[in-house]
Amino acid sequence: MNRTRTTTTARPVPVVALVASAIVGVLVGLAITATEPIPGLPEPGVVVRVGLPVVRVLLDLAAVVTVGLCLLPLLVGFDRPKIAEPVLAGARRVAMAGALVWATTALVALVLQTAELHPGREVSFTAVREYIGTVGAGKALLFVAVFALISFALSLWAVRVGESVPAELRAAVALFALLPLPVTGHATNWRWHDLTMISMELHVLGAAAWTGGLGAVVVLLAANRTLLAHALPRFSKLATVCLGLVTLTGLVNGLAELAFNPTRTLWAGLATGYGVLFLLKIGCLLALAGLGARIRWRLLPAITEHRTTALVGWAAVELAVMGLAFGFAVVLTRAPLA
Amino acid sequence: MRDRRAHRRVLPRAAAALVLAVGALIGLAGPAFAHNQLISSDPADKAALATGPAAIQLTFDQPVQAGDGLNSIVVVGPDGQGQWQNGKAAVAGNIVSVPVRPLGPAGAYKIGYRILSADGHPVSGELAFTLTTAGTGTPAPADATAQNPAAGSSAPGDDGGVPVWVWIAGAVVLLGAGIFLAMRVGGTES
């Protein structure tokens, strides 16, 4: 995201790491869960089979970037408007672009999911409308596109008039737009539906705030020691909460899916593609906890004293691991336990 | 700029609104969206049968979404070519079934299915059974299997379809134009 005019001091390397590793995560996940084609049934084309998860992970990342940038004013605080304003002006502009990408990828995902349902057929407006009418996931994607556009409109307004558009409102709209998709995700057990649903929503909110917050703070604030010394301790608290939340909810959902499976035991489930991805995500989480601890206890004390640190490098590694986890997650939510 | 106290009051309220929104969405979602799984089938997987079954019945753990062309079951014969299902799959609650023609040569038959799970993801899988005594039936004619709902290209109201890549290219162009315009909007910083 180096499109803005104002953030000349921004370092986009961490974002590149995030996006690249997310796509790698998707491809690895697809390789793990690859299945033989069913004889006699037409397969969706490669564009759909690979394109759909890639578009879904881009959707997730656009959402994460938008949420992170909308949270940034809250992390920076409102007591240093003079120093903060140039950075926040850049953040508003990139948030606007992020929300546009978010809305577009939601609509493309809608088309691809329609195509997936009717393999070997071209996609018409009628088919997409029918898909929205019959399938819950279609309605959810439409909701996401609409809310992303509302988020875009709010950011556009904020670009025009500055921080007088409440940052809380922008953050709330962006976070709200995260909610529809997990409700229609399949990673839900029939019997424990309500509990796993709430857990899944919290998982998505936690992951988005964590990754987005880290990305926004590192990319936009790394060059500004005063703001960084102020915002990073706040983000560190948010990240600790998110780490706990994501771990707990992830375990609840993954284990519920594996343990209450009607046809498999927990151990047999771990050997499936779903189980392997679940274990890979636990691995990502452990790595993130280690990297987060290093930033918190080794780098943060130096940063609060306005000293130069290797924060960008470490954060880029952390974001790359987060990207992998997002890639695995996209495949995981679509992988059957078989 | 606002003072910090106002900021502190707003955040819990935003959080409360978010919690309410989650609750509302979950209430709306109901128990409908979850991933279907095959529980049992008739004939059972890897069964050995002396006479061909009259129908294939697949039982899932929860209701399957019914709809034209959304669910299909095919039965492929030992030669890997001929298809032996007789018509389209029908949904009744948790059960998807398709009638089967009288079977022909003895050997391994494969049942392939793709259904639309309640959560919107297609769920597919494969079962097998063995016919021990040859029957006298013939496979479905090729034009009937081409009418296979999943492959049917003559569905009503499907005119004007374009390939997926055209949709993607269109979206990329629109997005590029949108971002280009958005970046030129005059703001507080310029």
Q: What is the pLDDT of residues B60-84, one digit of tens each?
A: 887 888 877 788 888 988 888 888 8
What is the pTM assigned to this prediction? 0.85
Chain B residues closer than 8 Å to A135 by CB: 65, 116, 120
Complete edge-to-edge strand list for the sheet that includes strand B95-99 = B38-42, B55-60, B95-99, B90-92
Number of domains in chain A: 1
Residue B154 has pLDDT above 70, yes or no: no
Q: Contact, A159 vs B185, CB < 8 A? A: yes
The angle at the Cα of A136, spanning A178 to B146, to the nearest 5 degrees, equals: 130
**Closest-CA residue to B106 (of B133, B138, B139, B136):** B133
- Find the domain containing A223 and state its range: 13-32+44-332
**Closest-CA residue to A118 (of B64, B157, B171):** B157
Within 10 A of B6 (CB to CB), how many other CB atoms are there? 12
Of B26, B120, B151, the CB nearest to A136: B120
**Closest-CA residue to A204 (of A223, A180, A169):** A180
Q: Is residue A276 part of a domain?
A: yes
How far does B150 lie from chain A, in Å, by closest CA?
Answer: 6
Of A111, A130, A338, the CB nearest to B125: A338
Interchain pair B188, A97: CB under 8 A: no
Q: Is residue A82 part of a domain?
A: yes
pLDDT of residue A38: 78
pLDDT of residue B156: 44
In total, the C-beta contacts within 8 angstroms joining chain A to chain B are 235
Half-sphere CA count of A314, side-chain side, radius 13 A: 19
Q: What is the CATH number of the domain that holds A52?
A: 1.20.1630
Chain B residues closer than 8 Å to A190 by CB: 31, 34, 61-62
pLDDT of residue A69: 93
DSSP assignment string, A294-319: HIIIIIHHHHHTT---SHHHHHHHHH
Q: Is residue A209 part of a domain?
A: yes
Q: What is the pLDDT of residues A234-286, one digit of tens each?
A: 999 999 999 999 999 999 888 888 877 767 777 888 888 888 999 999 999 99
- Whether B110 and chain A come into contact, CB under 8 Å, resolves to yes
- Can you give the pLDDT of all 338 residues of chain A as single tens digits? 444 444 445 677 888 999 999 999 999 999 988 877 777 787 888 888 899 999 999 999 999 999 999 999 989 888 888 888 888 988 999 999 999 999 999 999 999 988 888 877 788 888 899 888 888 788 889 999 999 999 999 999 999 888 888 888 999 999 999 988 887 765 555 567 778 888 888 999 999 999 999 999 999 988 888 889 989 999 999 999 999 999 999 998 888 888 777 677 778 888 888 889 999 999 999 999 999 999 999 889 888 888 888 888 999 999 999 999 999 999 888 776 65
**Closest-CA residue to B106 (of B85, B81, B142, B137):** B137
Kindly report which listed range (B21-25, B140-144, B178-182) carries the lowest average pLDDT score.
B21-25
ipTM of the complex as predicted? 0.76
Highest mean pLDDT among A94-103, A185-194, B9-18, B147-156: A94-103
pLDDT of residue A77: 84
Q: Is residue A234 part of a domain?
A: yes
- Whether B181 and chain A come into contact, CB under 8 Å, resolves to no
**Closest-CA residue to B32 (of A140, A134, A136):** A136
Q: Is residue A2 part of a domain?
A: no
Tokens 């997936």 identify what position? A116
- Whether B169 and chain A come into contact, CB under 8 Å, resolves to no
Kindly report which listed range (B3-7, B63-67, B138-142) carries the lowest average pLDDT score.
B3-7
Chain B residues closer than 8 Å to A193 by CB: 31, 34
Of A36, A100, A107, the CB nearest to B182: A100
Q: Is residue A7 part of a domain?
A: no
Cβ-proximal residues to B121 (8 Å cutoff; 6+ apart), any chain:
A137, A186, A334, B35
Interchain pair A121, B158: CB under 8 A: yes
Q: Is residue A230 part of a domain?
A: yes
Q: Is residue A263 part of a domain?
A: yes
pLDDT of residue A2: 41
pLDDT of residue B8: 52
